[in-house]
Amino acid sequence: MALALYRKYRPQTFAEVVGQEHVTEPLINAIRAGRLNHAYLFSGPRGCGKTSSARILARSLNCAQGPTPEPCGECRSCKALAADGHGSVDVIEIDAASHGGVDDARELRERAVFAPVDSRFKIYIIDEAHMVTAAGFNALLKLVEEPPEYVLFIFATTEPDKVLPTIRSRTHHYPFRLIAPPAMRELCRKLCDEEGANVADDVLPLVVRAGGGSARDTLSVLDQLIAGAGPEGVTYERAAGLLGVTDAGLLDEMCEAFAAADGRAVMEVVERVVEGGHDPRRFAGDLLERLRDLIVLHQVPDAGSSGLVDAPADQLAKMTSQATRMGTSTLTRMAEVIAAGLAGMRGATAPRLLLELACVRAILPGSDESMAGLTQRLETLEQRAAGAAFAAREAPSGAAAARAALARSAEVPAPTPAAEAAPAPATAAPAPPSQAAAVPPWEDEAPQANPPQPTAAPEPVAAPADDWAADTRADAEPVPAAEPAAPAYEPAYDGGGVTAASIRRQWDRIMMAVKDKKRTTAALLQDATIADATDKEVVLAFKHAFHAENLQKEPAYGIVVGVFNEVLGGSWKIRCEVGEAASLPKAGTGAAPSPAPRTPAPAAPSARPQTVPSRQAPAPAAESFEEPPADDYDEPSPDDPVAPGGFGTSEEQAVKLLTTAFGAKKIGV
């Protein structure tokens, strides 16, 4: 029969004791200085090294070369007190759970007066000292207070408060603690290497967590996994199934659903937990521990390297992304809700129902009227305000601002110029109705601080009707259509934890993260909207092909993909589409044409003069709109041959629309 790991690798010196430096170092210094006490009290959780340290202290005091903090291991006393030794008659271990009565104390007191047989000290190690009765402690009180110079007591207990105060006051008290996860994980890896066992790296965090900081419990769990390992060694799936812990994938999916506030995804994860045979109480406890880790990662970014969060490197990356998308108030309130649900599951007949209610309450802060719910809602509003401020700072100017103003004016229902325009000649090809709302070419320039003063110029007279129609067909350039105020995409659901709707809710954070990396890339994304999200692919709809083409080039594409991976988690792809191309009317569909700005024919000698401002534009001067002063504006006469049948009604409506959109008093065309 093989020896258990916790017995085989029991520490033999103070240097081998793991995680108890606050106890071993003072004991080493006391032994070296020769300032030994006649009684010690070792307290702490089970399996943390109290009894082993008591044996090491006995070996150090009775070593032939001692007292020394480093027993030689060669003398008779050291060999007798070793892990595989037969024991020493001068070191007596007593289990107080079965020998804690007054009669046992009296017998001990009668034997203690005899000198040691073969050692320097007669040492009594009383384990589970809190089990000694009050009468037993009273019987030992005089002996512990004034023992012979060769007698030494070491009390070990998990409950020091139950030790009689008069006994406790006569001892040197050394409190032992649970071993930290990094130190315990290092110890497990060292023992696996010495045993030649093949244990996966992601198994050790499960073993450490199952041990709960106790070295004996942790090594017992590791011993069980190694004993039941197959040819492939100890795998994560086998360890998770044997230990009954929740799969990390389920915890990741639940946290992703929490981050997106997706109720459907939350219910699907709970269903998978129940179908997988997991205990809802255990899942709630593991979820609470995950939320704790996310809170720590949000407050301490390097918590993984400092040991505050025990997880593999790839798992830490996912958890960091989840913590970034959820603020401290959100994580804190969710942890409080899950903790309350876990407390209510104890003894409950329907733990699954309580788990579902707790998870749904966690993603609905609006139903919580407490301060925690209010703080979570305020945090969400602050994040949205930060995103809005970023969008305002990066707002476009010039032509883009003019198009935005025209789009805002288009939100108010009004008759379009195409609907009121006079019928065009049969020979004219229909043009897209969006050309009636074309943006004047001069708006592409930056606004001028001192605009030029208007100057008088002769008014050209329009050409005959047939020539005007031919000129419109030949020379008019298609002008980009007015942009709608918001995209008309419907929220899509990809069957997973992240949907198009949830990505839109995270859009402010995505924009802030892209801006921190590169402002020009963030400016390209100002033109984008979330159209769809399926199979780890996000479809971005752009209003202009220029922005879509440039976003697909490096380094802009790499920056956006990296931000999506960081904020949403996982590995995402980006597909860019021009979202407005399909919404424009096709030629020949019967849409009412609206004339584009045209170049008037040369003025006839009989034309009456009209005063217009002189404006210089980058586009050809013949296609620019001219704005006359208000006092020189003359209503055109119906007799002017501007269009077939007299005055051009469609041009009049275009003037009205442009005057409303750009705030000018009057605009001449």
Residues 299 and 349 grouped into a single domain? yes
Within-domain flag for 70: yes
Range scoring the smallest mean pLDDT among 51-65, 272-286, 296-310, 614-628: 614-628
- What does the pLDDT average to over 563-577? 86
Reported as a pLDDT band with limits 50, 70 and 90, residue 459 is very low
The domain boundary residue, chosen from 243, 260, 277? 243
pLDDT at 572: 87
For residue 238, give the DSSP letter: H
Domain assignment of residue 451, given as a range: 422-477+593-662
pLDDT at 393: 62
More confident residue, 137 or 610: 137
Residues 302 and 218 grouped into a single domain? no
Within-domain flag for 384: no
- What does the pLDDT average to over 483-496? 41
CATH of the domain at 80: 3.40.50.300
Q: Annotate 12-62 with three-state secondary structure.
A: CCHHHCCCCHHHHHHHHHHHHHCCCCCEEEEECCCCCCHHHHHHHHHHHHH
**Hey, what amino acid is at 567?**
V
Within-domain flag for 81: yes
Residues 203 and 257 grouped into a single domain? no
Residue 138, judged by CB atoms within 10 A of its CB (0-12, 13-18, 19+), counts as middle
Residues 524 and 437 grouped into a single domain? no
pLDDT at 516: 85
Reported as a pLDDT band with limits 50, 70 and 90, residue 348 is confident
Backbone angles phi, psi at 668, to 5 degrees: -95, 145
Residues 212 and 302 grouped into a single domain? no
pLDDT at 219: 92
Within-domain flag for 386: no
- What does the pLDDT average to over 487-510? 65
Within-domain flag for 398: no
Q: By three-state DSSP, how is residue 668 classified?
A: strand
What 402-406 contacts at long range (C-beta under 8 Å, 24+ apart), as own/partner pairs, is 402/439, 402/440, 402/443, 402/662, 403/439, 403/480, 403/482, 403/483, 404/483, 405/661, 405/662, 406/437, 406/439, 406/482, 406/483, 406/661, 406/662
CATH of the domain at 278: 1.20.272.10
- Number of structural domains (the chain) is 5
Q: How far apart are the first and last CA of the chain?
A: 103
CB atoms within 10 A of CB 668: 19
More confident residue, 569 or 331: 331
Residues 320 and 286 grouped into a single domain? yes
Residue 548 scores a pLDDT above 50: yes
Q: What are the distances in angstroms from CA 438 to CA 412, 585, 594?
A: 17, 15, 10
Within-domain flag for 658: yes
pLDDT at 530: 86
Structure tokens, 243: 């230990």
Percent of the chain scoring above 70 in pLDDT: 67
Reported as a pLDDT band with limits 50, 70 and 90, residue 529 is confident
Residue-wise pLDDT for 221-275, tens only, equals 999 999 888 888 888 888 888 887 888 888 889 999 998 888 899 999 999 988 8
pLDDT at 355: 92
Cα gap 152→146, rounded to integer Å: 10
Cα gap 528→539, rounded to integer Å: 10
Reported as a pLDDT band with limits 50, 70 and 90, residue 502 is confident
The domain boundary residue, chosen from 243, 259, 281? 243
Residues 187 and 168 grouped into a single domain? no
The domain boundary residue, chosen from 223, 243, 263? 243
Residues 64 and 170 grouped into a single domain? yes
Residues 20 and 150 grouped into a single domain? yes
Q: What is the mean pLDDT of the chain?
A: 74
CB distance 108 to 142 below 8 Å: no
Residue 586 scores a pLDDT above 50: no
Residues 464 and 505 grouped into a single domain? no
Reported as a pLDDT band with limits 50, 70 and 90, residue 381 is low
Within-domain flag for 484: no
Report residue 295 CA to chain centroid gap.
10
CB distance 615 to 442 below 8 Å: yes
Within-domain flag for 491: no
More confident residue, 175 or 401: 175
Cα gap 211→234, rounded to integer Å: 17
- What does the pLDDT average to over 36-52? 92
Residue 286, judged by CB atoms within 10 A of its CB (0-12, 13-18, 19+), counts as buried
Range scoring the smallest mean pLDDT among 88-102, 334-348, 438-452: 438-452
Residues 59 and 170 grouped into a single domain? yes
pLDDT at 315: 81
More confident residue, 579 or 123: 123
CATH of the domain at 570: 3.30.300.180
CATH of the domain at 188: 1.10.8.60
**470 Cβ partners below 8 Å, 6+ apart?**
427
pLDDT at 338: 92
Reported as a pLDDT band with limits 50, 70 and 90, residue 653 is low
Residues 24 and 143 grouped into a single domain? yes
Q: What are the distances in angstroms from CA 249 to CA 21, 237, 294, 324?
A: 37, 11, 15, 19
For residue 174, give the DSSP letter: E
pLDDT at 603: 43
Range scoring the smallest mean pLDDT among 184-188, 213-217, 595-599: 595-599
Q: What is the pTM of this model?
A: 0.52
